[in-house]
Amino acid sequence: MALLIYTFIIIVAWPVLMSFLYSLFQHFDKECKDLFWKMHREIQKMREIALVYLDRSGGLQKFVHDCKKYNDSKQSYAVYRFIISINPSDIAELDATLGNYILHNPIQAAQIFQTVCFIAIKTLSLIEQLQTEAQISILLKPTHLPPLPSYVLSLSAFPFNYTSQRFYMSEGIAIAMGTVTKYTQGARFLCTEETCPFSEGFRYIRVHLPGATESATVRNDFVCSLCSSPLQEDIKFRVIGDKQIVEMIDAKVLNALKGYSNDKSHFRIQTFTVFLRDELANKMKIGNHYKIIGVPACVQNGLQATACIEVNSVQLCKPNGPSFVSDNFKYLLLLTSSSCWRFTAILANIFASQVVPPGTYNTLKLAILLSLVQTCEKENADYLDLLIVTSDKLVIDRLLNYSVCLLPRGIRHPPSSEIFPSVSKDKHGTGTASIQACSAVLAKGGICYIGDLSSYKKDKLELLQSALESRTTTVFIPGKKYGEEADQQVTISVQTNFWSFVDVDSSPKKHIQKDNFLIGQMDVSLIPPNLLDSFGLLIYSEFPSCQLSSSLVHHILEKAINPEVMLYKVSQQFRMQDYEEFIFFARNLHVELSSEAENLIQGYYLASRRVRRDSFHGSTLSPSALKILISLSKAHTKLSLRKKVLEEDALIAILLLESSLTLKHGKSALCVAPNPVFPFDLSDENSLQQRDSYLMQCHDQLLKFIGAYGPGIHVNTNEE
């Protein structure tokens, strides 16, 4: 019934007004008259369709509810703001003309809805304080845009089309965010001539439009259209809204921040400015990947013009990737199904054959793979950070650079930039603070490879330790410097795994050699002990530079002569792309701990805390060790393409952690071998069988260790 009433009003009331206007143009020729009536009929039809759409989509009910809130306040506003959600597909089915008008002339299309809403308010007395149509501000928010190239604004392409004020869709990563400030949403102006009819009422209403600066909405050179007297703002009716400036950049920038890549294409990267207003303020988080819909514009700031986008909607982009693994990996998984350890052992053995020969650095490569699959953008995720102690800086750096590129968010931190966010003045002339992204934030859900740890100063290492422990970093914004009344502290989550290495031979830092080293302990005194404990795993590379294997020397020389050569057949069978697909699939697996694995982990943890202690410091096993064990176990399960953590996964995790603890603090009563996960080379079926037998012995040894030093912990033995 309401729909019929509204439609009747639009059909009857407006033709009367149009007839009156038509009489004023009687002296025009016939062509002008026909054009006038044609435009009138088109606009009239679009108003009718707009009303029908609002009624069918539920927008009319929401509009009435919003009007009730304004009416209940009993306060007069210069501007009454309404948000209307538009589904382009639905409205195009009702009327293609209106659908096209909304997509390509959003500002003019908003005026059509403005008229419909004004008539509805006046007819049904929804807002008693409303006087003129100019007081209504309509913001159209499309739910999506047609998936066509003409609606995509490429931020890495030239030219940047900011002249056509229509809706575009774009994607990018937020790399800088300003603090939330205020802007004028709308203002009321009055004629200064007291005898003028427009010296009162709501005739002159200024409303913010996309791309407009503050001076375009509020300034002192407006004149009355009736008497040409100056207009003056009625300050008490100014409507204030929230505004936030965000700098975004095309996601292709991530490819430029990788240490190594097979992608040889060249592209142009340029940041662009995004304006988030009112309900969209603080909807973005720095470092996240977003899809936005908005209207491009050009903002003039003195002599400088800045291309920007006035955003209407923001949508967080989820990482897209393959949901499968290659046939070669499936076949390998089938061949090794008789053992829970063989598949991951072969993966580590042949991994990164483009950089190092198969069979070298197996423990390190397994740890890298475990860290790669233990990456995600969820809060409170299981992280796995790696610190490598090596004398082969060049080889390890190449291996880590190669591995970082297997993830979309793998970042090789450039030494000239900051690891963690910093603060600078906003470049748009507002004088407010702008938080700049950094390597750790850009690597969200991936890996941040920070290079040689010994090259960083004490303050940087303290920041790193704090981030590793809390998975957050705090940015301090001094209020006096950036025009704020009070100082601010902004906490930013750090959701990434950190990789680093220590070059023990070429480190410029001087450290004193200790005489009281325990068996198996390494001299890592150049690293602060608390920072050392913050890393999940400490790994010693198997081949010091003075003992390079002949296969590694041959590999390095061949690659130096011909970088593109494939030295091993396995490099063709398991390509870099295959590993990218495999890791993306494995990291998205949801795994759960079995009760047997949980008991084994808890038993080892409690026994180790009792064994690894001294009279002065107490237990040398950090509380985070339990989290690391669980993270390692889950990672090995994902790498095995399973969803249930078994005792076999927990055993690998325990051996890796025990090896790491041995390097830090020396051997314990468990007394594992120097390289417990790969005690010998894997060359054939017999070596794999021999490794399985060795790991079973380690499992029995672990059960005895728990039984001896973990009283009260019951773990099933083979006999049971």
Q: What is the DSSP string of 225-264?
A: TTT-PBEEE-GGG-EEEEEEEEEEE-TTHHHHTSS--S--
For the ranges 119-133, 263-277, 359-373, the lowest mean pLDDT is seen at 263-277
The answer to whether 390 and 454 have CB atoms below 8 angstroms apart is no
The span from the CA of 109 to the CA of 138, in Å, is 9
At residue 388, the pLDDT reads: 92
For the segment 231-241, the average pLDDT, to the nearest whole number, is 88
The predicted model scores a pTM of 0.85
| Percent of the chain topping pLDDT 70 | 85
Q: What is the pLDDT of residue 1?
A: 45
Residue 507 has pLDDT above 80, yes or no: no
Range among 248-257, 558-567, 646-655 rated most confident: 646-655
Asked whether the predicted pLDDT for residue 627 surpasses 50, the reply is yes
Percentages helix, strand, coil for the chain (3-state, rounded to 5) are: 40, 20, 40
| pLDDT average, residue stretch 583-604 | 91
171, 129 in Cβ contact below 8 A? no
Mean pLDDT of 539-553: 64
Residue 161 binned pLDDT confidence (cut-offs 50, 70, 90) = low
Compute the distance between CA of residue 114 and CA of residue 135 in angstroms, rounded to an integer. Answer: 9
pLDDT (average), residues 499-526: 62
For the segment 206-218, what is each residue's pLDDT rounded down to a tens digit?
888 877 777 778 8
Q: If pLDDT is split at 50, 70 and 90, which confidence band does 37 have?
A: low
Higher pLDDT pick, 581 / 28:
581
Average pLDDT of span 77-95? 89
Query: Of 178-192, 411-425, 476-490, where does mean pLDDT reach its minimum?
Result: 476-490
Is the model more confident about 527 or about 344? 344
Number of Cβ within a 10 Å radius of residue 69: 9
The answer to whether the beta carbons of residues 442 and 254 sit under 8 Å apart is yes
pLDDT score at 385: 92
Contact present, 715 and 708 (Cβ < 8 Å): no
Joined together, the tokens standing for residue 494 give: 């750090």
Please compute the mean of the pLDDT values over residues 465-481 and round it to a whole number: 87
pLDDT greater than 80 at residue 331: yes
Task: Note the pLDDT of residue 263.
Answer: 55
pLDDT value of residue 366: 94
Q: What is the pLDDT of residue 60?
A: 87
pLDDT for the residue numbered 593: 92
Task: Say yes or no to pLDDT of 644 above 90.
Answer: yes
What average pLDDT does the chain have?
82
Quickly state the pLDDT bin for 124 (edges 50, 70, 90). confident
Structural element, H or E, at residue 6: helix 2-24
Question: And the tokens for 424?
Answer: 């600078």
pLDDT of residue 39: 63
In angstroms, the CA 348 to CA 346 distance is 5
pLDDT at site 7: 44
pLDDT in tens, 287-302: 899 999 988 887 766 6
**15 falls in which pLDDT band (50, 70, 90)?**
low
Give backbone dihedrals phi and psi of 324, rounded to 5 degrees, phi first.
-155, 170
